[in-house]
Structure 1
Amino acid sequence: MNISGNTILITGGGSGIGLATAKLLDQFENRLILVGRNKQKLQYAVSQLTNAEFFIADVTDPHDVQSLVKHAESEFPDLNILINNAGVAYTYSIQRIEDSFEKATAEINTNYLANVHLTTKLLPLLLKNNESAIINNSSVTALVPALKIPTYSASKAALHSFSQSLRYLLQAQSNVKVFEVLPPLVDTDFSKEIDGPKISPEKVAETILHGMETDTYEIFVGVAAELSKVVRNSPETAIKLLNQLA
C-alpha cells in the first residue's frame, strides 16, 4: 500500500515503537494523530514531527474511546490508517504471585479488548476511504509463549487470532487491509523489567513500513521470522528457543 499522503492514528504514540513509527511516517507527508494517556510525552513527541497532533485518551476506557472516535469523525474524516500500538506487560510467575488475575485482566483489556473496541468503532470511517489499513502491533509471543510473561503472551495470541479473522473478513469485502506486526523483545520502557536481548524500536518501525509497502500482512521482525518457521515444525523447540533468548 501507499505509505505517503495518509491520515494515521497511532495509539501509544508518545514513546517506543509508536513514536519510532510516527517519526518514519512523518518523512512521507502523512498526517499523524498520536494517542496516549501522558500529555507530556505526547507533547514532546509531537514537537519532533512536522504534521502531527495528539489526543489524550486511555484506550481501555469506553468513555475516552467514544470521545476519540467522535474527534476523529469530526476532525479527521479522511482517516485511513489505524495503528493499534498501546500495550502493557507484566513479568511474573503465576505460581508465586497473588494478583496474577488482576495483571492478566489489565493485559487482556489493553492488548486485546481495547484493540477490538477501537477498531470496530473506527471501522465505518476507514471503510469510507479508498485505501485503508489496520495495523495491530502484536508479538512473537502470540505464536510462542514467553514463560516470564505468560498472560501477556496469551493476550497477544488473542490479538493474533482477531487480526487473522479481521483480515479474511475485510479484505474479501472491502478496501481495508489488515496487518499484524510480530516483533521479538524490543528495547523500550515497556520492556525494561524483562531480561534478554532486545532490538530497537527504530528497527521495528523500519520493518513495519517495509511490510506496508510490500503488502506483507504478517510482519515478522528480527528473530521472530525464524521462530515462526520453527513453530510450524516443532512448537516445543520454538518454546525452548524463545525462552533461552528471553
Structure 2
Amino acid sequence: MKTQHNTVLITGGSAGIGFEIAKLFAQNGNQVIITGRNAERLQEAATQLENTTAIVSDISKPDDVNQLVERLQKEFPTLNVVINNAGRAFAYSLSADGINAAGKATEEITTNYLSVVSLTEKLLPLLKRQNEAAVVNVSSIVAFVPGSRTSTYSASKAALHSYTQALRYTLAADTAIKVFELMPPLVNTDFSQEIGGINGISPVVVAEALLEGLQQDTYEIHVGNTANLYKLFLSSPEEALLAMNNGR
C-alpha cells in the first residue's frame, strides 16, 4: 500500500494515537481529514498539523455519520484511506455493585464496533472508485486476551477484530480495497490513564508501526507487546489471560 499522496480520514484524530497518525501522514505528503466530538480540541489539533482539515463529528450518532459521509463525498472525492480510530472505554470491575456494566458496554460497543461498521459501509462506494484504497481499524491487544478491568471494552475490540477479518476476506474477492488492523498494547494517552496508561508505549510508536505495516502490506499489525502476547495466546490461552491480568 502506498503511504504518500493519499486522502486519509482519521476518526478521533484530535489526540493520542489518532493525532500522531494524522501528524505522521500529513508530514508524508498526504491530505488528512480528522474528526472528533470536541470542536475546540479538534481545532487546536488541526493548527498543529500540515495539510489537515478538521470536521466536528461524533461517529456514534447516525446523523453525524450521514453528514460526514455527505461532506466527504462532495469535498474529498479522492478519499482512499479510512482509519477507524475513535474509541470509548471504561475501566471497572464486573463484580462492583451498581456499576451499570450494561450501560457502559452499550457505549463501548456503539463507538468501537457498530459505528465502525456503519461508517465503513457508507464509505465503501467512494473507496471502490479509487485505484488503491484501504480501511484501517484500530483494535487492541485485548481483542485477543481480555483485561479484567476493561472487560466490556475488550469484548468490543474482539467484535471489531472478527468484523475486520471478515471484511478483509470479503473485499479481497472483488475490490482493490485492503483491510488492515492496527493492534497496539497499552499506550500512554489521556484515553488510557485510568488503566495505567502512564506505563504504556508512546502513541508515536503506534503511528510509525502503522506506516510501516501499510508499506509492507502487513494486514494485522501487532505493535510492541501485542506480538508477544499473541504468541503466548496461541500456545496457551490460559497463561495469556493470566499474563494480561498480572497473574491474578
Contact in 1 for aligned 2:23/2:50 (Cα 8 Å): no
Task: State the partner residue of 1:209.
Answer: 211
Contact in 1 for aligned 2:10/2:82 (Cα 8 Å): yes
Please state if 1:20 is matched with 2:20: yes
Aligned residue-pair number: 246
Task: State the partner residue of 1:148.
Answer: 149
Task: State the partner residue of 1:240.
Answer: 242
Greater mean alpha carbon deviation, residues 144-153 or residues 89-98? 89-98
Mapped partners of 1:97, 1:159: distance in 2: 28
For residues 74-223 of structure 1, what are the structure 2 equivalents within 5 Å?
74-98=74-98, 99-195=100-196, 197-223=199-225
Q: Which amino acid aligns with 2:30?
A: N
User: For residues 245 and 12 of structure 1, do their structure 2 counterparts lie closer, same or farther at Cα, with a shift above 3 Å needed?
Assistant: farther
**Could you state the TM-score of these two structures normalised by the residue count of structure 1?**
0.98
Contact in 1 for aligned 2:10/2:35 (Cα 8 Å): yes
Mapped partners of 2:127, 2:41: distance in 1: 27
Secondary structure, in 3 states, of the residue corresponding to 1:149? helix
Secondary structure, in 3 states, of the residue corresponding to 2:200? coil
Give unmatched runs, 5+ long, in structure 1: none
Mapped partners of 1:202, 1:12: distance in 2: 15
Q: Which amino acid aligns with 1:59?
A: I
Mapped partners of 1:244, 1:94: distance in 2: 17
Displacement of 1:245 in angstroms is: 8.6
Displacement of 1:4 in angstroms is: 0.1
User: For residues 52 and 243 of structure 1, do their structure 2 counterparts lie closer, same or farther at Cα, with a shift above 3 Å needed?
Assistant: same
Computed over aligned residues only, the root mean square deviation of the Cα atoms, in angstroms, reads 1.2
**Could you state the TM-score of these two structures normalised by the residue count of structure 2?**
0.97
- Moved runs in structure 1, 4+ residues, more than 2 A? none
Secondary structure, in 3 states, of the residue corresponding to 2:178? strand
Mapped partners of 1:14, 1:138: distance in 2: 18
* Residue identity (%): 52
Mapped partners of 1:207, 1:245: distance in 2: 28
Q: Which amino acid aligns with 1:168?
A: Y
Mapped partners of 2:230, 2:148: distance in 1: 17
